Amino acid sequence: MKIKKVVHENAYGLYQARLDQAFITNQTYIEKPFWYENLETGQLYYDIFGCIGYPTEVSQKETDRPGYVCIVGIIKSQDETKNPKNAPFRLLAEAESFDVPSLIDHIIRLRNEWGFGLHPELLHTFIGDPERYIDILALRNEKLIAEGGEKNSILLSPPLDFSSSNYFDEAYRSLYSVLEKDHVRLYFGKNNILRHRVMEFKVGEPAVIAVGGLMQWLIFGTPWLQSSKENSMFLVEEENEKD
């Protein structure tokens, strides 16, 4: 595993202090009292998410595109003055394949490398199309559940506006918005698959569909933060129970 979970030494007190501050300043979201650390680089992440884009439907060979999966970390700044809502994104790992079972194998491998199981919600759900290859995913989930229970399964959640007829346009624009010169928010690191797919630009590109959908969901939902209006104490209570 390339990641570890870090829990604040006084998670309950920190949570209460952030709630009080949010009430005074009328903030909608607050930081969670735990985060993740990259064991190779020391980089910190508020949270980690994954996405998948299935291969294009078989047509002419030159237009077929492989499916794509990736893991993205939300970078946590050590500068407490920076607004966590504007946190940049880091592409941590990626893989591609024309073969759907192999693509699902990549999900399992990558999520295990990047912290799956360290927190109940971490990398349990990937952003992607839940309607394609249902039987293949169901068969794989049967084995995963037999090995580790329901929490070991892979869930797929559709991106925002996924049923829209111009979804690719929305996904591409969301991805482009975090790659614009002077406004870069998504960093590739040493990963080159997505970089090349964006440069080639082909309509229907699975990598763009996957990451564009994830970017749209992250930007509009800021899921790495916690609502200050909801009763979300379970996040802290879970950590206390593990101590």
Predicted confidence (pLDDT) per residue in 153-169, tens digit: 999 999 888 888 889 99
Read off φ and ψ for residue 17, nearest 5 degrees: -65, -40
What is the distance between the alpha carbons of residues 49 and 186, in angstroms, rounded to a whole number?
A: 13
What tokens were used for 223?
């899921």
- Average confidence score pLDDT of the chain: 86
Query: Are 172 and 212 in contact, with CB atoms under 8 Å apart?
Result: yes
Written as six digits, the tokens of 133 are 């290859």
User: Would residue 242 count as lying in a domain?
Assistant: no
Report the distance separating Cα 182 and Cα 86, nearest Å. 14
Residues 86 and 29: their CA atoms lie apart, in Å, by: 12
Share of the chain above pLDDT 90, in %: 64
Q: Is residue 243 part of a domain?
A: no
CA dihedral 118, 121, 122, 124 (to 10 degrees): 120
- Per-residue pLDDT tens for 51-70? 999 998 876 566 688 999 99
The first and second tokens of residue 37, run together, are 């650390």
pLDDT in tens, 140-196: 999 999 999 999 999 999 988 888 888 999 999 999 999 998 889 999 999 999 999
Question: Which amino acid, 6?
Answer: V
Distance CA 24, CA 18 (A): 10
Adjacent-strand bridge partners of 44? 37
Asked if the structure places residue 105 within a domain, the reply is: yes
Give the domain range for residue 59: 3-235
Query: Does residue 175 belong to any structural domain of this protein?
Result: yes
pLDDT of residue 226: 78
CA 222 from chain centre, in angstroms, equals 11
Within a domain: 57: yes
Both tokens of 152, joined, read 């070991």
| Secondary structure tally for the chain: helices H, strands E | 7, 10
Domain assignment of residue 102, yes or no:
yes
- The answer to whether position 241 is within a domain reads no
* 64 vs 94, more confident: 94
Say if residues 93 and 46 touch (Cβ distance below 8 Å).
Answer: no
How high is the pLDDT of residue 150?
Answer: 93
Look at residue 240 and tell me if it is in a domain.
Answer: no
Determine the 3-state secondary structure of 140 from DSSP: helix
Pairing of β 89-97 and β 67-75: antiparallel
Q: What is the Cα–Cα distance from 89 to 124, expressed in whole angstroms?
A: 19
Q: Are 52 and 68 in contact (CB under 8 A)?
A: yes
Q: What is the pLDDT of residue 9?
A: 65
Q: Are 39 and 4 in contact (CB under 8 A)?
A: yes
Q: How many domains does the chain have?
A: 1
